[in-house]
Structure 1
Amino acid sequence: MKKFLLILFTASALIIFADNAFAQQQQQTTIPLPKIGIDVGSSDSPKDISVTLQLLLLLTVLSLAPSIMIMTTSFLRLIIVFQFLKNAMGTQQMPPNQLLAGMALFITLFIMAPTWNKVNDEALKPYMDGKITMDSAYNKGINPIREFMFKNVRDEDLELFVSLSNMPKPNSRNDLPTYVLIPAFVISELRAGFIIGFFLFIPFLVVDMVVSSVLMSMGMMMLPPMLVSLPFKVLLFVLVDGWNLIVGSLVRSFNV
Protein backbone atom coordinates (compact mmCIF):
# COMPACT_ATOMS: atom_id res chain seq x y z
CA MET A 1 0.00 0.00 0.00
CA LYS A 2 2.82 2.34 0.89
CA LYS A 3 4.59 1.56 -2.39
CA PHE A 4 1.39 2.29 -4.31
CA LEU A 5 0.94 5.68 -2.58
CA LEU A 6 4.58 6.53 -3.23
CA ILE A 7 4.23 5.74 -6.93
CA LEU A 8 1.00 7.74 -7.14
CA PHE A 9 2.58 10.75 -5.40
CA THR A 10 5.61 10.65 -7.70
CA ALA A 11 3.50 10.44 -10.83
CA SER A 12 1.32 13.38 -9.70
CA ALA A 13 4.38 15.50 -8.98
CA LEU A 14 5.83 14.75 -12.41
CA ILE A 15 2.54 15.68 -14.13
CA ILE A 16 2.29 18.98 -12.21
CA PHE A 17 5.91 19.94 -12.97
CA ALA A 18 5.53 19.00 -16.65
CA ASP A 19 2.32 21.04 -16.91
CA ASN A 20 3.98 24.10 -15.36
CA ALA A 21 6.99 23.79 -17.67
CA PHE A 22 4.73 23.47 -20.73
CA ALA A 23 2.69 26.49 -19.63
CA GLN A 24 5.83 28.59 -19.20
CA GLN A 25 7.13 27.53 -22.60
CA GLN A 26 3.79 28.28 -24.25
CA GLN A 27 3.68 31.66 -22.54
CA GLN A 28 7.12 32.51 -23.89
CA THR A 29 6.23 31.52 -27.46
CA THR A 30 2.81 33.19 -27.53
CA ILE A 31 2.45 35.66 -30.40
CA PRO A 32 0.79 38.91 -29.30
CA LEU A 33 -2.41 39.64 -31.22
CA PRO A 34 -3.54 43.18 -32.00
CA LYS A 35 -6.69 44.42 -30.34
CA ILE A 36 -9.08 46.10 -32.72
CA GLY A 37 -11.96 48.19 -31.48
CA ILE A 38 -14.22 51.07 -32.41
CA ASP A 39 -14.60 53.82 -29.83
CA VAL A 40 -16.98 56.73 -29.86
CA GLY A 41 -15.55 59.78 -28.20
CA SER A 42 -14.69 63.43 -28.58
CA SER A 43 -12.03 64.63 -31.00
CA ASP A 44 -10.30 67.99 -31.24
CA SER A 45 -9.19 67.45 -34.85
CA PRO A 46 -11.67 67.76 -37.74
CA LYS A 47 -9.38 65.49 -39.75
CA ASP A 48 -10.11 62.57 -37.40
CA ILE A 49 -13.85 63.02 -37.90
CA SER A 50 -13.40 63.23 -41.66
CA VAL A 51 -11.42 59.99 -41.76
CA THR A 52 -14.05 58.23 -39.65
CA LEU A 53 -16.86 59.38 -41.91
CA GLN A 54 -14.91 58.27 -44.98
CA LEU A 55 -14.44 54.83 -43.41
CA LEU A 56 -18.16 54.52 -42.66
CA LEU A 57 -18.98 55.62 -46.20
CA LEU A 58 -16.56 53.04 -47.63
CA LEU A 59 -18.15 50.25 -45.57
CA THR A 60 -21.59 51.32 -46.77
CA VAL A 61 -20.47 51.28 -50.41
CA LEU A 62 -18.92 47.83 -49.98
CA SER A 63 -22.16 46.46 -48.53
CA LEU A 64 -24.09 47.85 -51.51
CA ALA A 65 -21.48 46.78 -54.08
CA PRO A 66 -23.42 43.72 -55.38
CA SER A 67 -26.56 45.78 -56.01
CA ILE A 68 -24.55 48.58 -57.62
CA MET A 69 -22.81 46.10 -59.90
CA ILE A 70 -26.07 44.47 -60.97
CA MET A 71 -27.90 47.72 -61.64
CA THR A 72 -25.19 49.74 -63.40
CA THR A 73 -23.37 47.18 -65.55
CA SER A 74 -24.06 44.60 -68.26
CA PHE A 75 -24.64 41.85 -65.69
CA LEU A 76 -28.43 42.25 -65.69
CA ARG A 77 -28.92 41.58 -69.41
CA LEU A 78 -26.48 38.67 -69.38
CA ILE A 79 -28.05 36.77 -66.49
CA ILE A 80 -31.57 37.26 -67.89
CA VAL A 81 -30.56 35.86 -71.28
CA PHE A 82 -28.79 32.88 -69.71
CA GLN A 83 -31.84 32.05 -67.61
CA PHE A 84 -34.11 32.29 -70.67
CA LEU A 85 -31.74 29.97 -72.55
CA LYS A 86 -31.82 27.43 -69.73
CA ASN A 87 -35.63 27.48 -69.61
CA ALA A 88 -35.94 27.28 -73.40
CA MET A 89 -33.76 24.18 -73.58
CA GLY A 90 -35.60 22.54 -70.70
CA THR A 91 -32.45 21.37 -68.91
CA GLN A 92 -33.64 21.39 -65.32
CA GLN A 93 -30.41 21.87 -63.33
CA MET A 94 -27.84 22.04 -66.11
CA PRO A 95 -25.98 24.30 -66.27
CA PRO A 96 -26.29 25.20 -62.56
CA ASN A 97 -27.39 28.69 -61.57
CA GLN A 98 -24.02 29.27 -59.86
CA LEU A 99 -22.24 28.56 -63.14
CA LEU A 100 -24.50 30.92 -65.07
CA ALA A 101 -23.98 33.66 -62.49
CA GLY A 102 -20.21 33.16 -62.56
CA MET A 103 -20.12 33.23 -66.35
CA ALA A 104 -22.23 36.39 -66.41
CA LEU A 105 -19.90 37.95 -63.83
CA PHE A 106 -16.70 37.35 -65.81
CA ILE A 107 -18.28 38.42 -69.10
CA THR A 108 -19.37 41.57 -67.28
CA LEU A 109 -15.77 42.14 -66.20
CA PHE A 110 -14.71 41.78 -69.83
CA ILE A 111 -17.36 44.20 -71.13
CA MET A 112 -16.88 46.77 -68.38
CA ALA A 113 -13.07 46.69 -68.41
CA PRO A 114 -12.67 49.90 -70.49
CA THR A 115 -15.13 51.74 -68.24
CA TRP A 116 -13.53 50.59 -65.00
CA ASN A 117 -10.06 51.38 -66.33
CA LYS A 118 -11.21 54.96 -66.82
CA VAL A 119 -12.56 55.03 -63.27
CA ASN A 120 -9.26 53.69 -61.96
CA ASP A 121 -7.09 56.14 -63.94
CA GLU A 122 -9.21 59.26 -63.46
CA ALA A 123 -10.57 58.81 -59.93
CA LEU A 124 -9.19 55.95 -57.84
CA LYS A 125 -5.46 56.35 -58.42
CA PRO A 126 -5.40 60.17 -57.96
CA TYR A 127 -7.47 59.81 -54.79
CA MET A 128 -5.23 57.10 -53.34
CA ASP A 129 -2.20 59.30 -54.11
CA GLY A 130 -3.84 62.22 -52.29
CA LYS A 131 -4.02 64.41 -55.39
CA ILE A 132 -7.80 64.94 -55.35
CA THR A 133 -10.51 65.03 -52.71
CA MET A 134 -13.25 62.46 -52.19
CA ASP A 135 -15.89 64.69 -53.82
CA SER A 136 -13.72 65.17 -56.88
CA ALA A 137 -12.97 61.43 -57.02
CA TYR A 138 -16.68 60.62 -56.91
CA ASN A 139 -17.52 63.07 -59.70
CA LYS A 140 -14.71 61.80 -61.91
CA GLY A 141 -15.42 58.16 -61.12
CA ILE A 142 -19.15 58.28 -61.81
CA ASN A 143 -18.76 59.92 -65.21
CA PRO A 144 -17.48 56.81 -67.09
CA ILE A 145 -20.25 54.71 -65.57
CA ARG A 146 -22.86 57.30 -66.52
CA GLU A 147 -21.42 57.38 -70.03
CA PHE A 148 -21.81 53.60 -70.33
CA MET A 149 -25.41 53.75 -69.11
CA PHE A 150 -26.26 56.63 -71.47
CA LYS A 151 -24.95 54.61 -74.42
CA ASN A 152 -27.23 51.67 -73.59
CA VAL A 153 -30.39 53.32 -72.24
CA ARG A 154 -33.46 54.12 -74.32
CA ASP A 155 -34.65 57.69 -74.61
CA GLU A 156 -38.23 56.56 -73.87
CA ASP A 157 -37.17 55.15 -70.50
CA LEU A 158 -35.26 58.31 -69.64
CA GLU A 159 -38.29 60.43 -70.48
CA LEU A 160 -40.48 58.19 -68.31
CA PHE A 161 -38.43 58.68 -65.15
CA VAL A 162 -37.85 62.36 -65.83
CA SER A 163 -41.63 62.82 -65.97
CA LEU A 164 -42.18 60.65 -62.88
CA SER A 165 -39.66 62.69 -60.89
CA ASN A 166 -41.56 65.94 -61.68
CA MET A 167 -38.27 67.64 -62.49
CA PRO A 168 -37.83 70.16 -65.29
CA LYS A 169 -36.60 68.72 -68.56
CA PRO A 170 -32.77 68.72 -68.48
CA ASN A 171 -30.93 70.68 -71.14
CA SER A 172 -28.15 68.09 -71.46
CA ARG A 173 -27.14 64.70 -70.15
CA ASN A 174 -24.94 66.32 -67.53
CA ASP A 175 -28.04 67.85 -65.94
CA LEU A 176 -29.72 64.46 -65.54
CA PRO A 177 -29.31 63.07 -61.98
CA THR A 178 -27.85 59.62 -61.53
CA TYR A 179 -30.84 58.47 -59.46
CA VAL A 180 -32.99 59.04 -62.57
CA LEU A 181 -30.55 57.43 -64.97
CA ILE A 182 -30.11 54.14 -63.07
CA PRO A 183 -33.78 52.97 -63.03
CA ALA A 184 -34.15 53.98 -66.69
CA PHE A 185 -31.07 51.90 -67.51
CA VAL A 186 -32.44 48.95 -65.52
CA ILE A 187 -35.74 48.73 -67.39
CA SER A 188 -33.91 49.19 -70.69
CA GLU A 189 -31.73 46.21 -69.84
CA LEU A 190 -34.78 44.19 -68.78
CA ARG A 191 -36.45 44.94 -72.11
CA ALA A 192 -33.34 43.99 -74.10
CA GLY A 193 -32.93 40.76 -72.14
CA PHE A 194 -36.56 39.76 -72.66
CA ILE A 195 -36.36 40.46 -76.40
CA ILE A 196 -33.27 38.30 -76.79
CA GLY A 197 -34.89 35.60 -74.64
CA PHE A 198 -37.95 35.59 -76.93
CA PHE A 199 -35.82 34.92 -80.01
CA LEU A 200 -33.95 32.18 -78.14
CA PHE A 201 -37.21 30.38 -77.41
CA ILE A 202 -38.32 30.14 -81.07
CA PRO A 203 -35.94 27.43 -82.40
CA PHE A 204 -36.38 25.25 -79.32
CA LEU A 205 -40.16 25.71 -79.49
CA VAL A 206 -40.09 24.51 -83.11
CA VAL A 207 -38.17 21.40 -82.03
CA ASP A 208 -40.75 20.71 -79.31
CA MET A 209 -43.63 21.08 -81.78
CA VAL A 210 -42.02 18.78 -84.36
CA VAL A 211 -41.27 16.10 -81.76
CA SER A 212 -44.82 16.33 -80.35
CA SER A 213 -46.33 15.97 -83.83
CA VAL A 214 -44.16 12.95 -84.61
CA LEU A 215 -45.05 11.25 -81.34
CA MET A 216 -48.77 11.86 -81.86
CA SER A 217 -48.63 10.50 -85.40
CA MET A 218 -46.91 7.36 -84.11
CA GLY A 219 -49.50 6.95 -81.37
CA MET A 220 -46.95 7.36 -78.58
CA MET A 221 -49.04 9.76 -76.54
CA MET A 222 -47.86 8.42 -73.18
CA LEU A 223 -44.23 9.34 -73.90
CA PRO A 224 -43.44 12.90 -72.64
CA PRO A 225 -42.46 15.09 -75.63
CA MET A 226 -40.06 17.15 -73.48
CA LEU A 227 -38.10 14.02 -72.62
CA VAL A 228 -37.68 13.10 -76.28
CA SER A 229 -36.98 16.61 -77.56
CA LEU A 230 -34.28 17.42 -75.00
CA PRO A 231 -31.47 15.46 -76.71
CA PHE A 232 -32.37 17.01 -80.06
CA LYS A 233 -32.31 20.52 -78.58
CA VAL A 234 -28.94 19.90 -76.97
CA LEU A 235 -27.62 18.47 -80.24
CA LEU A 236 -28.94 21.46 -82.20
CA PHE A 237 -27.36 23.90 -79.73
CA VAL A 238 -23.99 22.15 -79.95
CA LEU A 239 -24.01 21.87 -83.74
CA VAL A 240 -24.63 25.59 -84.28
CA ASP A 241 -21.97 26.45 -81.62
CA GLY A 242 -24.62 28.08 -79.48
CA TRP A 243 -22.44 29.42 -76.69
CA ASN A 244 -20.18 31.17 -79.17
CA LEU A 245 -23.12 32.75 -80.98
CA ILE A 246 -24.97 33.85 -77.86
CA VAL A 247 -22.00 35.23 -75.93
CA GLY A 248 -20.61 36.94 -79.04
CA SER A 249 -23.98 38.52 -79.83
CA LEU A 250 -24.44 39.67 -76.24
CA VAL A 251 -21.02 41.30 -76.05
CA ARG A 252 -21.58 43.07 -79.39
CA SER A 253 -25.01 44.27 -78.28
CA PHE A 254 -23.45 46.68 -75.75
CA ASN A 255 -22.18 50.10 -76.70
CA VAL A 256 -18.99 50.61 -74.71
Structure 2
Amino acid sequence: MNPQSSHPVRGFCLLALVAAVLVLWVQPGAAQEAGGEILGAITGALSDAPAGSDERATLSGRIIQMIALMTVLALAPGLLVVMTSFTRFVIVFSMLRSALGLNQTPPNMVLSSMALFMTFFVMQPVFEDAWEDGVQPLMNNAITEEQAMSRIADPFKRFMLANTREKDIALFADFAARGEGGQPEAGPVTAESTGWRILVPAFMISEMRRAFSIGFLIYLPFIAIDLIIASILMSAGMMMLPPVLVSLPFKVIFFVLIDGWYMLAGSLMEGYLPLAGG
Protein backbone atom coordinates (compact mmCIF):
# COMPACT_ATOMS: atom_id res chain seq x y z
CA MET A 1 0.00 0.00 0.00
CA ASN A 2 1.22 3.47 -0.83
CA PRO A 3 1.83 5.38 2.46
CA GLN A 4 0.59 8.59 0.93
CA SER A 5 -2.79 7.10 -0.02
CA SER A 6 -4.05 7.11 3.56
CA HIS A 7 -3.04 10.71 4.29
CA PRO A 8 -6.27 12.32 3.01
CA VAL A 9 -8.41 9.89 4.99
CA ARG A 10 -6.43 10.41 8.17
CA GLY A 11 -6.48 14.16 7.72
CA PHE A 12 -10.23 14.09 7.16
CA CYS A 13 -10.80 12.12 10.38
CA LEU A 14 -8.55 14.47 12.35
CA LEU A 15 -10.39 17.49 10.95
CA ALA A 16 -13.71 15.90 11.88
CA LEU A 17 -12.59 15.36 15.48
CA VAL A 18 -11.35 18.95 15.80
CA ALA A 19 -14.65 20.22 14.40
CA ALA A 20 -16.55 18.15 16.96
CA VAL A 21 -14.55 19.66 19.83
CA LEU A 22 -15.15 23.19 18.55
CA VAL A 23 -18.88 22.59 18.22
CA LEU A 24 -19.09 21.24 21.77
CA TRP A 25 -17.16 24.24 23.07
CA VAL A 26 -18.89 27.05 21.16
CA GLN A 27 -22.43 25.75 20.67
CA PRO A 28 -23.38 22.87 23.00
CA GLY A 29 -26.97 22.83 21.70
CA ALA A 30 -25.80 21.65 18.26
CA ALA A 31 -23.68 18.79 19.63
CA GLN A 32 -26.15 16.06 18.74
CA GLU A 33 -26.61 17.22 15.16
CA ALA A 34 -22.87 17.74 14.63
CA GLY A 35 -22.10 14.38 16.17
CA GLY A 36 -24.44 12.67 13.72
CA GLU A 37 -22.84 14.42 10.76
CA ILE A 38 -19.29 13.56 11.89
CA LEU A 39 -20.23 9.94 12.56
CA GLY A 40 -21.75 9.75 9.09
CA ALA A 41 -18.63 11.27 7.54
CA ILE A 42 -16.34 8.79 9.28
CA THR A 43 -18.63 5.92 8.33
CA GLY A 44 -18.54 7.12 4.73
CA ALA A 45 -14.76 7.26 4.79
CA LEU A 46 -14.67 3.71 6.05
CA SER A 47 -17.13 2.53 3.42
CA ASP A 48 -15.14 4.16 0.62
CA ALA A 49 -12.17 1.98 1.43
CA PRO A 50 -12.33 -1.57 0.06
CA ALA A 51 -13.43 -4.17 2.59
CA GLY A 52 -10.49 -5.96 4.17
CA SER A 53 -7.96 -3.47 2.80
CA ASP A 54 -4.95 -2.30 4.83
CA GLU A 55 -6.16 1.30 4.60
CA ARG A 56 -9.47 0.46 6.21
CA ALA A 57 -7.80 -1.58 8.96
CA THR A 58 -5.32 1.22 9.69
CA LEU A 59 -8.09 3.83 9.86
CA SER A 60 -10.19 1.67 12.17
CA GLY A 61 -7.18 1.12 14.42
CA ARG A 62 -6.49 4.84 14.62
CA ILE A 63 -10.10 5.57 15.59
CA ILE A 64 -9.93 2.91 18.31
CA GLN A 65 -6.67 4.40 19.59
CA MET A 66 -8.25 7.87 19.69
CA ILE A 67 -11.25 6.59 21.65
CA ALA A 68 -8.97 4.75 24.07
CA LEU A 69 -6.84 7.86 24.56
CA MET A 70 -9.88 10.02 25.31
CA THR A 71 -11.11 7.42 27.81
CA VAL A 72 -7.74 7.32 29.59
CA LEU A 73 -7.63 11.12 29.79
CA ALA A 74 -11.11 11.17 31.32
CA LEU A 75 -10.07 8.60 33.94
CA ALA A 76 -6.62 10.09 34.56
CA PRO A 77 -7.44 11.87 37.88
CA GLY A 78 -8.84 8.69 39.40
CA LEU A 79 -5.98 6.57 38.08
CA LEU A 80 -3.49 9.06 39.51
CA VAL A 81 -4.96 8.60 42.98
CA VAL A 82 -5.33 4.82 43.02
CA MET A 83 -2.22 3.68 41.12
CA THR A 84 0.56 6.06 42.21
CA SER A 85 2.19 7.47 45.33
CA PHE A 86 -0.10 10.51 45.35
CA THR A 87 -2.32 9.10 48.12
CA ARG A 88 0.50 8.76 50.64
CA PHE A 89 1.93 12.20 49.89
CA VAL A 90 -1.30 14.15 50.17
CA ILE A 91 -2.40 12.39 53.38
CA VAL A 92 0.94 13.00 55.09
CA PHE A 93 0.97 16.67 54.08
CA SER A 94 -2.59 17.13 55.36
CA MET A 95 -1.75 15.52 58.69
CA LEU A 96 1.35 17.70 58.98
CA ARG A 97 -0.78 20.82 58.56
CA SER A 98 -3.16 19.59 61.26
CA ALA A 99 -0.27 18.78 63.61
CA LEU A 100 1.09 22.30 63.20
CA GLY A 101 -2.32 23.72 64.04
CA LEU A 102 -2.59 25.63 60.75
CA ASN A 103 -6.07 25.34 59.29
CA GLN A 104 -5.54 26.82 55.82
CA THR A 105 -1.77 27.28 55.58
CA PRO A 106 -0.44 25.94 53.27
CA PRO A 107 -3.68 25.97 51.26
CA ASN A 108 -5.06 22.80 49.73
CA MET A 109 -3.92 23.80 46.25
CA VAL A 110 -0.31 24.12 47.40
CA LEU A 111 -0.33 20.77 49.20
CA SER A 112 -2.01 19.01 46.28
CA SER A 113 0.39 20.56 43.77
CA MET A 114 3.42 19.58 45.84
CA ALA A 115 2.10 16.03 46.20
CA LEU A 116 1.39 15.92 42.47
CA PHE A 117 4.88 16.97 41.36
CA MET A 118 6.53 14.70 43.91
CA THR A 119 4.39 11.90 42.49
CA PHE A 120 5.61 12.66 38.97
CA PHE A 121 9.20 12.65 40.25
CA VAL A 122 8.83 9.28 41.98
CA MET A 123 6.80 7.67 39.19
CA GLN A 124 9.05 8.86 36.35
CA PRO A 125 10.80 5.46 35.90
CA VAL A 126 7.39 3.76 35.74
CA PHE A 127 6.08 6.27 33.21
CA GLU A 128 9.21 5.86 31.08
CA ASP A 129 8.91 2.07 31.07
CA ALA A 130 5.24 2.29 30.09
CA TRP A 131 6.05 4.75 27.30
CA GLU A 132 9.02 2.86 25.86
CA ASP A 133 7.48 -0.62 26.11
CA GLY A 134 3.86 0.14 25.24
CA VAL A 135 2.93 3.58 23.93
CA GLN A 136 5.84 4.17 21.57
CA PRO A 137 5.64 0.75 19.82
CA LEU A 138 1.88 1.23 19.46
CA MET A 139 2.35 4.62 17.80
CA ASN A 140 4.86 3.02 15.43
CA ASN A 141 2.37 0.23 14.61
CA ALA A 142 4.84 -2.35 15.90
CA ILE A 143 2.36 -4.00 18.29
CA THR A 144 -1.41 -4.35 18.61
CA GLU A 145 -3.68 -2.51 21.02
CA GLU A 146 -4.03 -5.57 23.26
CA GLN A 147 -0.25 -5.97 23.52
CA ALA A 148 0.16 -2.27 24.21
CA MET A 149 -2.35 -2.32 27.07
CA SER A 150 -0.55 -5.23 28.69
CA ARG A 151 2.88 -3.59 28.32
CA ILE A 152 1.64 -0.25 29.64
CA ALA A 153 0.03 -1.88 32.67
CA ASP A 154 2.98 -4.10 33.65
CA PRO A 155 5.24 -1.31 35.09
CA PHE A 156 2.36 -0.02 37.21
CA LYS A 157 1.59 -3.52 38.43
CA ARG A 158 5.20 -4.07 39.47
CA PHE A 159 5.28 -0.74 41.29
CA MET A 160 2.04 -1.42 43.13
CA LEU A 161 3.04 -4.95 44.10
CA ALA A 162 6.34 -3.68 45.49
CA ASN A 163 4.46 -1.26 47.76
CA THR A 164 1.58 -3.54 48.78
CA ARG A 165 1.60 -5.89 51.73
CA GLU A 166 0.95 -9.55 50.98
CA LYS A 167 -1.51 -9.52 53.87
CA ASP A 168 -3.67 -6.94 52.09
CA ILE A 169 -3.51 -8.81 48.79
CA ALA A 170 -4.48 -12.04 50.55
CA LEU A 171 -7.49 -10.30 52.12
CA PHE A 172 -9.03 -9.26 48.79
CA ALA A 173 -7.96 -12.47 47.07
CA ASP A 174 -9.76 -14.48 49.74
CA PHE A 175 -12.98 -12.49 49.38
CA ALA A 176 -12.76 -12.68 45.58
CA ALA A 177 -12.37 -16.46 45.76
CA ARG A 178 -15.33 -16.73 48.13
CA GLY A 179 -17.50 -14.75 45.75
CA GLU A 180 -16.54 -17.08 42.89
CA GLY A 181 -17.06 -20.20 44.99
CA GLY A 182 -13.41 -21.28 44.91
CA GLN A 183 -10.19 -21.05 46.89
CA PRO A 184 -7.46 -18.42 46.59
CA GLU A 185 -4.45 -19.51 44.59
CA ALA A 186 -1.45 -20.63 46.62
CA GLY A 187 2.08 -19.58 45.79
CA PRO A 188 4.07 -16.38 45.42
CA VAL A 189 2.29 -13.18 44.48
CA THR A 190 3.24 -12.00 41.00
CA ALA A 191 2.00 -9.33 38.62
CA GLU A 192 0.63 -12.00 36.29
CA SER A 193 -1.32 -13.84 39.00
CA THR A 194 -2.81 -10.72 40.64
CA GLY A 195 -5.69 -9.00 38.90
CA TRP A 196 -6.55 -5.31 39.05
CA ARG A 197 -9.69 -6.11 41.05
CA ILE A 198 -7.48 -7.35 43.90
CA LEU A 199 -4.37 -5.25 43.46
CA VAL A 200 -5.89 -1.75 43.38
CA PRO A 201 -7.83 -1.86 46.70
CA ALA A 202 -4.97 -3.74 48.39
CA PHE A 203 -2.52 -1.06 47.24
CA MET A 204 -4.85 1.69 48.48
CA ILE A 205 -5.20 0.36 52.03
CA SER A 206 -1.46 -0.34 52.20
CA GLU A 207 -0.72 3.25 51.20
CA MET A 208 -3.21 4.67 53.69
CA ARG A 209 -1.77 2.52 56.48
CA ARG A 210 1.74 3.79 55.79
CA ALA A 211 0.49 7.38 55.49
CA PHE A 212 -1.27 7.24 58.86
CA SER A 213 1.78 5.63 60.46
CA ILE A 214 3.96 8.49 59.21
CA GLY A 215 1.34 11.01 60.33
CA PHE A 216 1.37 9.56 63.85
CA LEU A 217 5.14 10.01 64.09
CA ILE A 218 4.78 13.58 62.82
CA TYR A 219 2.19 14.39 65.49
CA LEU A 220 4.33 13.29 68.46
CA PRO A 221 6.80 16.22 68.72
CA PHE A 222 4.08 18.81 68.17
CA ILE A 223 1.88 17.23 70.87
CA ALA A 224 4.87 17.41 73.23
CA ILE A 225 5.22 21.14 72.51
CA ASP A 226 1.49 21.65 73.18
CA LEU A 227 1.74 19.82 76.50
CA ILE A 228 4.80 21.81 77.59
CA ILE A 229 3.17 25.15 76.73
CA ALA A 230 -0.08 24.14 78.47
CA SER A 231 1.80 23.14 81.63
CA ILE A 232 3.72 26.44 81.69
CA LEU A 233 0.54 28.48 81.26
CA MET A 234 -1.29 26.58 84.00
CA SER A 235 1.63 26.94 86.42
CA ALA A 236 1.69 30.69 85.67
CA GLY A 237 -2.04 30.98 86.37
CA MET A 238 -2.92 32.02 82.82
CA MET A 239 -5.65 29.44 82.34
CA MET A 240 -7.79 31.76 80.21
CA LEU A 241 -5.11 31.98 77.52
CA PRO A 242 -5.53 29.22 74.90
CA PRO A 243 -2.38 27.05 74.86
CA VAL A 244 -2.72 26.48 71.11
CA LEU A 245 -2.41 30.21 70.47
CA VAL A 246 0.92 30.33 72.30
CA SER A 247 2.31 27.02 71.04
CA LEU A 248 1.63 27.75 67.36
CA PRO A 249 4.67 30.00 66.72
CA PHE A 250 6.90 27.61 68.66
CA LYS A 251 5.76 24.66 66.54
CA VAL A 252 6.30 26.61 63.33
CA ILE A 253 9.81 27.78 64.27
CA PHE A 254 10.68 24.27 65.49
CA PHE A 255 9.63 22.82 62.13
CA VAL A 256 11.62 25.48 60.27
CA LEU A 257 14.77 25.07 62.37
CA ILE A 258 14.95 21.31 61.82
CA ASP A 259 14.37 21.88 58.07
CA GLY A 260 11.18 19.87 58.27
CA TRP A 261 10.11 20.11 54.63
CA TYR A 262 13.49 18.82 53.48
CA MET A 263 13.40 15.92 55.92
CA LEU A 264 9.79 14.99 55.21
CA ALA A 265 10.07 15.15 51.41
CA GLY A 266 13.32 13.19 51.47
CA SER A 267 11.89 10.50 53.73
CA LEU A 268 8.75 10.09 51.63
CA MET A 269 10.65 9.78 48.36
CA GLU A 270 13.30 7.51 49.85
CA GLY A 271 10.64 4.90 50.52
CA TYR A 272 9.72 4.82 46.82
CA LEU A 273 12.74 5.53 44.62
CA PRO A 274 14.56 2.18 44.96
CA LEU A 275 11.32 0.32 44.25
CA ALA A 276 10.20 2.59 41.40
CA GLY A 277 13.60 2.45 39.75
CA GLY A 278 13.88 -1.30 40.12
The two structures have a TM-score, normalised by structure 2, of: 0.76
For the residues of structure 1 that align with 2:186 and 2:68, how far apart are their CA atoms? Answer: 29
Specify whether residues 85 and 163 from structure 1 end up closer, same or farther in structure 2 by C-alpha distance, changes over 3 A only: same
| Letter in structure 1 aligned against 2:97 | K
Q: CA RMSD in A?
A: 1.7
The two structures have a TM-score, normalised by structure 1, of: 0.82
Partners of 1:207 and 1:233 within 8 A in 2: yes
| Letter in structure 1 aligned against 2:200 | I
1:21 maps to none
Of 157, 165, 185, the match for 1:146: 157
| Letter in structure 2 aligned against 1:153 | T
For the residues of structure 1 that align with 2:227 and 2:245, how far apart are their CA atoms? Answer: 13
Work out which of the two has the higher radius of gyration on C-alpha atoms and give 1 or 2.
Answer: 1
Q: Determine if the alignment matches structure 1 residue 78 to structure 2 residue 89.
A: yes
For the residues of structure 2 that align with 1:179 and 1:229, how far apart are their CA atoms? Answer: 46
| Letter in structure 2 aligned against 1:40 | L
For the residues of structure 2 that align with 1:35 and 1:247, how far apart are their CA atoms? Answer: 45
1:124 maps to 135
| Letter in structure 1 aligned against 2:137 | P
Per the TM alignment, residue 160 of structure 1 is displaced from its structure 2 partner at its CA by 0.4
Gaps spanning 5+ residues in structure 2: where? 1-17, 21-33
2:66 maps to 55
Q: Determine if the alignment matches structure 1 residue 180 to structure 2 residue 198.
A: yes
1:157-176, aligned counterparts within 5 Å? Answer: 157-166=168-177, 168-169=184-185, 171=187, 172-173=189-190, 174-176=192-194
Q: Determine if the alignment matches structure 1 residue 69 to structure 2 residue 80.
A: yes
For the residues of structure 1 that align with 2:19 and 2:136, how far apart are their CA atoms? Answer: 31
Per the TM alignment, residue 50 of structure 1 is displaced from its structure 2 partner at its CA by 4.5
For the residues of structure 2 that align with 1:54 and 1:35, how far apart are their CA atoms? Answer: 18
Gaps spanning 5+ residues in structure 1: where? 1-33
Aligned pairs, how many?
A: 223
Per the TM alignment, residue 58 of structure 1 is displaced from its structure 2 partner at its CA by 2.1
1:247 maps to 265
- Determine which structure has greater relative contact order: mean sequence separation of CA pairs < 8 Å that are 6+ residues apart, divided by chain length: 1
For the residues of structure 2 that align with 1:234 and 1:140, how far apart are their CA atoms? Answer: 46
Of 201, 210, 214, the match for 1:192: 210
| Letter in structure 2 aligned against 1:184 | A
SS at 2:39's partner residue?
coil
Specify whether residues 107 and 78 from structure 1 end up closer, same or farther in structure 2 by C-alpha distance, changes over 3 A only: same
2:6 maps to none
For the residues of structure 2 that align with 1:206 and 1:156, how far apart are their CA atoms? Answer: 34
For the residues of structure 2 that align with 1:59 and 1:93, how far apart are their CA atoms? Answer: 35
1:40 maps to 39
